[in-house]
Amino acid sequence: MPNKIEFLFDFGSPTAYLAYRRLPGVMERTGAEVEPIPILLGGVFKATGNSPPGAVAAKGRYMGVDMARFAKRHGIRLAMNPDFPINTLTMMRGAAGLQHDPRLIRYMETLFAAMWERPRNLGDPAQLATALEAGGFDAEEIAALSNSDEAKARLKANTEQAVERGVFGAPTFFVGDEMFFGQDRLDYVEETLAG
């Protein structure tokens, strides 16, 4: 069994954020490494015919309660973003541009926190730039990176490959070929890693 978790995420997903906050514990307990793979959730929805939980009003309301219970149990700060849903295309292209850059870790911490702890409307380029600068980034450099053909192509390829592997939402985890969907399946991920 490979000792690696592929973590497919989009900053726009609050459950991806909840999973992100749980990953350090999983790494500590299992010794596994995590490989973050930025995907565009909107692209996954379009390709699979899936839709976000909030598309059904009653489900969206319940999801808020359910995520708050999860956050409370695990001591995670979660503030629902009043501007949700936010277009994450630029942010995710930036993540794809940094995919093989050691700064990806800090980029993820900066933007997950700015989305789901503070929270900010990161669909607004000015607020995104402010958040990035506060996280120690050169916002202009990141904007240029997000706008690069390479970043665009990588995000597109990541998303298409995810769909080919059976992904229909975020967060999704792979341990080898085994797929797990949702922050609430990390215990199964751990079990699989433990063999």
Pick 41 or 143: Cβ nearer a second copy:
41
The reply on whether position 84 binds a second copy by CB under 8 A is no
The reply on whether position 59 binds a second copy by CB under 8 A is yes
- DSSP designation for 106: H
Cα angle 95-96-100, degrees, rounded to a multiple of 5:
95
The reply on whether position 50 binds a second copy by CB under 8 A is yes
End-to-end Cα spacing for the chain = 7
Interface segment toward a second copy; rule CB under 8 A; list 25-33, 46-54, 87-95, 135-143: 46-54
| 163/22 Cα distance (integer angstroms) | 24
The reply on whether position 163 binds a second copy by CB under 8 A is yes
Interface residue with a second copy, options 2, 6, 42, 48 (CB under 8 A): 48
Interface residue with a second copy, options 58, 75, 82, 149 (CB under 8 A): 58
Pick 48 or 130: Cβ nearer a second copy:
48
Interface residue with a second copy, options 83, 124, 160, 184 (CB under 8 A): 184
- Phi, then psi, of 38 in degrees rounded to 5: -70, 130
DSSP H/E element including 175? strand 172-175
The reply on whether position 90 binds a second copy by CB under 8 A is no
Find out whether 74 and 187 touch, Cβ atoms under 8 Å: no
Binding-site size for a second copy (CB under 8 A) equals 25
Pick 61 or 118: Cβ nearer a second copy:
61
Interface residue with a second copy, options 2, 64, 66, 127 (CB under 8 A): 66
Task: Count each helix (H run) and each strand (E run) in the chain, helices first.
Answer: 9, 4
Cα angle 158-3-185, degrees, rounded to a multiple of 5:
70
Pick 97 or 169: Cβ nearer a second copy:
169
| 11/38 Cα distance (integer angstroms) | 9
DSSP H/E element including 160? helix 149-164
Binding site for a second copy (CB under 8 A): 48-50, 55-59, 61-62, 65-66, 69, 73, 163, 166-169, 179, 181, 184-185, 188, 191
